[in-house]
Structure 1
Amino acid sequence: MKLRGTPRREGALALLAQLPEAAALLEADGSLLGTNPACRALLGPALPAGKGAAVRGWFQPRDGLDALLRQGQGEAELALSGTVPPGRPLRVALAPLGMDGLSLLRLLPPAPAVDAERLALLGRMAGGVAHDFNNLLGIVTGAAAAARHARGEVALRAELLAIEEAAERGAALVRQLLAFSRQQVMAPQVLSLNARVEAMGRLLQRLMGAAITLEVVLDDPPRRVRADPSQLDQVLLNLAVNARDAMGRHGRITIATGSRLVLGEGAGQIPPGRYATITVQDSGPGIPPAVLAHIFEPFFTTRIERGGTGLGLATVQGIVAQSGGHILAESPPGQGARFTILLPRHEGEADPAPPPVAEAAPAHILLVDDEPALLRLGAQALERAGHRVTTAADGHDALDLLEDGLRPELLVTDVAMPGLDGVDLAGRAGGLCPGLPVLLLSGYAASTLSVDWQGKGWGFLAKPWTVDSLCIAVASALDRRG
């Protein structure tokens, strides 16, 4: 058998990388040889995409790919493990390449379908987004107008604070939508589940108030999982707040860790495997069956008159799915509501705490953004932090500066720009300035980028950034430079 490094295989991998749809190269035995960026973005961090990975584990049911592999070609509809919301399967197509026994596996979107239920869900999402953002924009425009006429520094600061808070709420709404769609930026670590739940339990007890009894029950031995710690905290916070509100602010909440072995296809189409579990149980009135069927839908809420947005549980489901896990909702008669989170167990040691980012020494930064206001504000923030900043209004202007001899110590660039986008600019800048570190800025999720930015050693900062987050990201990028 020829090795991966042969010219034919390298050529096949190079062509794979250029395909616009999600695709993978398989060996004759069905094991994975390589994937393209679109496929890695679709799989997310929870599903294995390295050479030799078991591709059948990407799909539900787990043996759904076997028939295609036996036939050597064909097409089937399979659900991707952990998809949110669970819905119409992907079209999975397998075709032989006629070289070294290799096959091309393509993961295609399902055929478009229109039905009343999906249209109603889309309408509810659109209405919910419009309602929340119109409220936020109303605060921004009203406070900005008041700031123009404010007399005195105290009044001006109050209006500016209202604008800043509205912007933060808008950013939080976008993060919730990205979590629902499984597209938010994740930073998974190997965690001790008991330690994380115990620490969050102490915080939640203070948040719940004296009228709520919060009990934390930890399993022995403790289990480890691979998840984003801040996102896991968000899951527990959302579930605890929902439980408190359902009980009328009086009652008992129990958060328990445990383990579960799934031998066959479990409830909710959970693949077989070993899982660590978190159960959140309340003593409230429970969830009626008619409501239980819809609780994970975005903008579905029974508390709209009390400010409910219907994004809390949709966010929880999205975070759990992007971590490779599953969530079950149950409401046995007379026993309140019970949510069980199943996360794949990790048998290795917990990750050590990352070293703190050193304060960055002043550096020369090339800042690129086609939004003039953001370009100005970013330059001001970095200059106040002691850096020297050269600005460019788009990718072509930045490339002209580099070709004319500009040699910055860091390139900070927006991704979505007309003409030459930030990813292409970073690639061409690296040819002119070998070793130039790069920090990408984008209002889109990192998983949508067409390049393996982490593999290249680049940094990523999601918009909207704050002054502090921008300076920290710049310091981290310069720290990686060494």
Structure 2
Amino acid sequence: MTRPPPTAEALVTALPQPAALLDLAGRVVLANATMRSALGGAVLIRPGEVAARLFPAAEGAIRAALAGQSPAPVEVAAVGLLRLVPLGAGSGALLLLEGMAPGLGARLEILGRLAGGIAHDFNNLLSVILGAAGSLRHVAPVAAAATELEAIEAAAERGSALVRQLLAFARQQVMAPRVLDLNDSIRALAVMLPRLLGARIELVLDLEEPSRRIRVDPSQWDQVLLNLMVNARDAMKGEGRLRIATGRRLVLDSLALPAGRYAMVEVTDNGPGIAPELLPHIFEPFFTTKLAQGGTGLGLATVQGIIGQLGGQLEVESQPGQGTTFRILLPRHEGPADAPPPPPRPIPVAVPVGPVLLVDDEPSLLRVAALCLQQAGFEVVQALDGEEALEQLEAGLKPCLIATDVAMPGMDGLTLARTARRLLPDVPVLLLSGYSAAVVDSDLAQEGFRFLAKPYTPDTLKLAVAGAFLPLATRRDMEH
């Protein structure tokens, strides 16, 4: 990265208004604290990011400023008014944020909080709901109650999906990428589409051969495609033609994407199109035209967040009365596709000698999780924080397993686990958290710790506890 002069960097840091410094290639060299705070969850602006990829609507203005011109300010949806100021020959450009849409800053701040600590607390509550419903099903499998329990569990799963959407929009989701054959991934998804789309929508696959490979998280890739297809179905009011096409694009000169070969996917409907006044806002978080139908306004924002996290770009073309095309560009992977993972082997639930030490600072979740494990045949000792758990260990408690929440006041779960290992070097440890594993500051596999994300169901908790007793090599074989 060719850096502008140090004086320019000092200027950006000192400016009271939101500002970022761009090098000659249009990449972010530095963004001041005011800029990072102002953008919140709308854009994660980091050194090395291509500015035009972050702000596609301002690509022309960025290019002009880097060429030494002074372009007019550009209004960018979900961000505000961007002004580009050339810094002279060989010195890059200055990007200034001059105004945000009314109320947007507060909305983005709320989103950022939900994507962090509040998402953690919400996942705790969902774990209580799922655990209590599962325990009731175990205790009283009455047919009359089964329908209501299914409704409770379905509502909790919807809540969990909403949290995942928030994290995806904020690009805080942890991905488990694999190399997929692009056409095969679409054909596999197309099998379930007729039921989703309905009988009055004609599905057309136009897949270019030879197929390309992409490196994506399979579940998130399906989420991207399903979001776009459900949008198309709703736009056509359940009747029309939906075309899914694949192709390729060679990018040579773009500030929005690095030069290279890209795989392309187009999702096209023949619905009424998007009104010109709405088009600039469709990727804004919480913007929806389906509020009365329960729309959250997070679908397209989620898609954009996932595609951006994968190093790609999402484009849209629409004219009133002529339908809409969403176009995804993703970096091509030149190697072969990964082999599909083997089917999971069943984990026998064996009851080992000694109790499970269960630690969580949320009393309701602690009680429900303990009940789930007791119903599976485990003896359980409970502790409401790390200090109480450590006191029991120092008093002579020898658990067969420590299952502990990570984020707790006082002694957190990681500290407890490491301290416990000094007292009992061979004790298995299962970490529980509403945050993703990547947010937990630890190489979990290296330390021999297992991880279970919240919200969990009684079955996933039981299997995670049972799996924690297996030797590490066996666990790795099962996971891979």
The equivalences for 1:150-165 within 5 A come to 156-165=145-154
1:377 corresponds, among 368, 371, 374, to 368
Q: Tell me how far apart the structure 2 counterparts of residues 286 and 213 of structure 1 sit (CA, whole Å).
A: 18
TM-aligned CA deviation for residue 402 of structure 1: 3.0
What are the residue-to-residue correspondences of 1:24-103 with 2, within 5 Å?
Answer: 63=25, 87=43, 89-90=45-46
Instruction: Give the deviation of 1:113 after TM superposition.
Output: 8.0
Whether 1:200 aligns to 2:199 is no
Separation (CA, whole Å) in 1 of partners of 2:41 and 2:322: 27
Contact 1:359/1:475 (CA < 8 Å) preserved in 2? yes
Aligned counterpart, 2:455? 464
The one-letter amino acid paired with 1:393 is L
Q: Of the candidates 239, 247, 250, which is equivalent to residue 228 of structure 2?
A: 239
Q: Cα–Cα, structure 1 residues 60 and 181, in superposed 2: closer, same or farther, change >3 Å?
A: farther
Summarize the Cα distance change of 1:177–1:408 in structure 2 as closer, same or farther, 3 Å threshold.
Answer: same
Match of 1:117 in 2: 101
8 A contact 2:41–2:108 mirrored in 1: no
Shift of 1:347: 2.4
Listed as ranges, the matches of 1:120-159 within 5 Å are: 120=104, 122-123=106-107, 156-159=145-148
SS at match of 1:447: coil
Change (3 A) 1:480 1:235: farther
TM superposition shift of 1:126: 5.5
Counterpart Cα distance in 2 of 1:454 and 1:329: 41
Question: Residue 173 of structure 1 aligns with which residue?
Answer: 162
What are the equivalent positions in structure 2 for 1:62-461 lying under 5 Å apart?
63=25, 87=43, 89-90=45-46, 115-117=99-101, 119-120=103-104, 122-123=106-107, 156-265=145-254, 269-332=256-319, 334-355=321-342, 356-360=344-348, 361-363=350-352, 365-461=356-452
Q: Quick one: structure 1 residues 474 and 188, their matched pair in 2 at CA, closer, same or farther if it must change by over 3 Å?
A: farther
Distance 1:76 1:374, change over 3 A: closer
The one-letter amino acid paired with 1:382 is L
Shift of residue 208 of structure 1? 0.8
Distance 1:114 1:391 in 2: 54
Render the CA deviation track for 1:333-370: whole Å, top value 9, x for unaligned: 65411111222222233333334244143335332111
Residue 320 of structure 1, CA deviation: 1.9
1:453-480 alpha-carbon deviations (Å, 9 max, x no partner):
3543433322221112222333443445
Matched residues, percent identical?
A: 53
Long gaps (5+) in structure 1: 1-25, 27-58, 69-74, 93-110
Amino acid at match of 2:411: L
Give me the CA root mean square deviation: 3.8
Task: Out of 288-297 and 446-455, give the one that drifted further.
Answer: 446-455
Residues in 1 aligned to 2:22 and 2:209: alpha-carbon distance in whole angstroms: 31
Q: Structure 1 pair 271/162, CA: closer, same or farther in 2 (3 Å)?
A: same
- Pick closer, same or farther for the CA change 1:413–1:113 going to 2, 3 Å: farther
Contact 2:235 2:271 in 1 (8 A): yes
Separation in 2, partners of 1:86, 1:153: 47
State whether residues 179 and 215 of structure 2, in contact with CA within 8 Å, keep that contact through their aligned partners in structure 1: yes
Give the C-alpha shift of residue 279 in structure 1. 1.4
Counterpart amino acid of residue 307 in structure 1: G
Specify every segment of 5 or more residues in structure 2 that has no aligned partner in the other structure, as ranges: 2-20, 49-94, 475-480
Report if aligned partners of 2:270, 2:323 keep a CA contact under 8 Å in 1.
yes
Secondary structure of 1:411 counterpart:
strand
Following the alignment from structure 1 to structure 2, what is the Cα–Cα distance between the partners of residues 350 and 389? 44
Q: Contact 1:395 / 1:419 at 8 angstroms: preserved in 2?
A: yes
Match for 1:89: what amino acid? I
Give the direction of change, closer, same or farther, for the CA distance of 1:409–1:288 in structure 2 (3 Å limit).
same
The 3-state SS of whatever aligns with 1:446 is coil
Task: Give, as a single letter, the amino acid of the residue that structure 2 aligns with 1:359.
Answer: I
CA 1:305/1:258 → structure 2, altered by over 3 Å: closer, same or farther? Answer: same
Is contact 1:211-1:251 (8 Å) kept? Answer: yes
- Give 2:227's aligned amino acid: N
- Matched residue type, 2:271: G
Q: Tell whether the 8 Å contact from 1:84 to 1:321 is kept in structure 2 after alignment.
A: no
Structure-1 separation of matches of 2:40 and 2:233: 26
Q: CA deviation at 1:153?
A: 5.5
Distance in 2, matches of 1:62 and 1:456, equals 44
- C-alpha distance in 2 between matches for 1:439 and 1:64: 45
Q: How many angstroms apart in 2 are the aligned matches of 1:168 and 1:373?
A: 19
Change (3 A) 1:421 1:309: same
TM-score by length of 1: 0.69
Which residue type is aligned with residue 300 of structure 1? F
Maintained 8 Å contact 1:276/1:344: yes
Residues 124 and 472 of structure 1, relative CA distance in 2, 3 Å threshold: same
Separation (CA, whole Å) in 2 of partners of 1:456 and 1:430: 10
Determine the structure 2 residue equivalent to 1:41.
none
444-453 or 412-421, which deviates more:
444-453
